[in-house]
Structure formats: structure tokens, C-alpha cells
Amino acid sequence: VNQDSNSGKWLLTRRIFLVDAVSGRENDLGSQPRVIRVATQISLSVHLVPNTINGNIYPPLITIAYSDIDIKDANSQSVKVSFSVTYEMDHGEAHVQTDIALGVLGGLAVLASLLKTAGWKRRIGSPMIDLQTVMKFLVYYAGDLANVFFIITVGTGLYWIIFFKAQKSVSVLLPMPVQEERFVTYVGCAFALKALQFLHKLISQITIDVFFIDWERPKGKVLKAVEGEGGVRSATVPVSIWRTYFVANEWNEIQTVRKINSLFQVLTVLFFLEVVGFKNLALM
């Protein structure tokens, strides 16, 4: 009964049993049953009413899977039974809002990528739109689109954790694993596109040529003998090579720039955890 995957075709009933030890008896009801039917999987589904603010739910649905057990040793034989409770709600409206945010931010990502590509074309002094320009635009767009996916996933995660943990009456439920497929897909896309942008940045840094031009002027003169003329005259002192080494070393040190302050980050995390009380959200 109710083997169809479409729950709309199921035949619902109000009567259930856990163990059927009568159908497996042969000839006499007082004899030992050869087979018993046991409810081995019991699942209770609680579905939240859409747009509710008082925690209203539909009548719970109990799904039971029965198994036929052959009786070999009634005194020592055991059967494993599983029981689970699932809480569900319709996330269709949230998916629509996510699609709208993805469309709007995706359009902004296209504009940002066009501006980056135009700036790159202006720097290299090439007015032509060739294959290299298209590839550059696609790489820029991959990075911006990864940021879009990241913003959407972070916003969705914050929405789930804040509204679910802070609610006093049930109005928001966490999505089921099946409902999380879109969220997981967004995370995977963000990671893949960001990896592509990182690879492009790495190749650009490896293949770049850096030239140091020292515009420092000589600051003194020295007297030196001139061969063949039998006299002494002044000559300009060249800039010391150690200055070039110093500039190159400073350039090497500033190639990696930390954009965050470690002390500020630690203090900020402690403030939100201890003062604001975010550490208690997991216990609510």
C-alpha cells in the first residue's frame, strides 16, 4: 500500500498497528507464528502552515514501513526499529526571493565586469575587441559572479540562523536536505568561480614583468685622474647599487599586504560572542 512516490496518490488511514503476530499463524491461532509483520520504520512529518506567525501546523503525517520477519528463535531474535520526526515548511517563496536577488546582483556583476574590462583595455592602449578581451571579461565576470553567490549564500544562512534561533513562536523551519540542494549548488558555484579567478590572478602575477626605474640624481662629484691627459678633473658620482637593492627588497616586502587587522578581528569576534551574546544562539 502507498508504494507510489507521489504522495497525492496515497490512501491515508487513521488505524495503524506495530506488530502483526496473527497473520503468520498456520491452522491454529494458538500455534507459534512462522512470520510476523513489524513496523520497522516509523516517520512522523510535521508540516508548517505557510505564512503563519503562531506556529500553526497541518495534521501530522505518520509514514510506516513494515517488514516480514521469519521467526527462527523467538526468545533471542531481535528486530531493529527506527523512528524519526521531520519538520517541514514550504520554501517556495524563499526560492523566488533568492532568484530575484540572483538576477539583480547578477546584472550588477555584468556591469562591474564591463567596467573592469574597459579599464584594462584603457591601460594596455588597445581599442579593439578581440578574443583576449572576451576572455578577460569572462574571467572578471566569474569573479564577480562568485561574489554574488557568496552574498546570497551568506544572506540565506544568516536568515536561517537568526530568524530560526530568535523566534518565540514557530514561523520558520530549517530546510530539509532535499530543499538544501539549491543552497549547496550556490556554494559549489561560488567555490568553482572563485578558484578560476584565483588561477587567473596567479597566472597574471607569475607572467608579469616588473621594471625598476630609479630617477635619483647623483648628489656629488669626485676628483679623479684622467689617463693620457696628465691632469685631474671632477666626475659625477653614480648612484650606489645598494640603493637599487634596497628598493627591490622593499618592493618584495610589500607584495603581500594584509587587508585585516588581526587584533581588531579577535576583539570584534569576542565582542559579538561575549557582549552581544551570539554564543548563546546555539542553546536557544
Which pLDDT score is estimated for 27?
73
Q: What does the pLDDT look like over 24-40, one tens digit per residue?
A: 777 777 777 788 888 88
Provide long-range contacts, Cβ within 8 A and 24+ apart, for 95-102.
95/182, 98/152, 98/156, 98/182, 101/152, 101/155, 102/148, 102/149, 102/152
Which pLDDT score is estimated for 225?
52
Residue 173 pLDDT exceeds 90: no
Angle at 95 between CA 84 and CA 138, to 5 degrees: 125
pTM: 0.67
Residue 112 pLDDT exceeds 90: yes
Which pLDDT score is estimated for 234?
62
Contact 46, 57 (CB under 8 A): yes
Q: What does the pLDDT look like over 178-194, one tens digit per residue?
A: 888 888 999 999 999 99
Residue 172 pLDDT exceeds 60: yes
Q: Which helix (H) or strand (E) holds 221?
A: strand 221-226
Average per-residue pLDDT for the chain: 83
Write out the three cell numbers for 125: 592602449
Q: CB under 8 Å to 52, separation ≥6 — which residues?
A: 170, 171
Cell numbers 536568515 correspond to 159
Q: Give me the half-sphere count of Cα atoms (radius 13 Å) on the Cβ side of residue 169.
A: 8
Residue 64 pLDDT exceeds 80: yes
Angle at 244 between CA 238 and CA 249, to 5 degrees: 165
Q: What does the pLDDT look like over 241-279, one tens digit per residue?
A: 788 888 888 888 877 777 778 888 899 989 888 888 777
- Mean pLDDT, range 98-119, rounded to an integer: 93
Q: What does the pLDDT look like over 197-249, one tens digit per residue?
A: 999 999 988 888 877 777 777 676 655 555 555 555 666 667 777 888 888 88
222 dihedral zone (left: phi>0; alpha: psi -120 to 50; beta):
beta
Instruction: Report domain extents, the chain.
Output: 7-88, 92-209, 213-278
Residue 60 pLDDT exceeds 80: yes
Which pLDDT score is estimated for 73?
78
Write out the three cell numbers for 114: 564591463
What's CA 246's distance to the chain center, in Å? 43
Q: Specify the higher pLDDT residue, 164 or 119.
A: 119
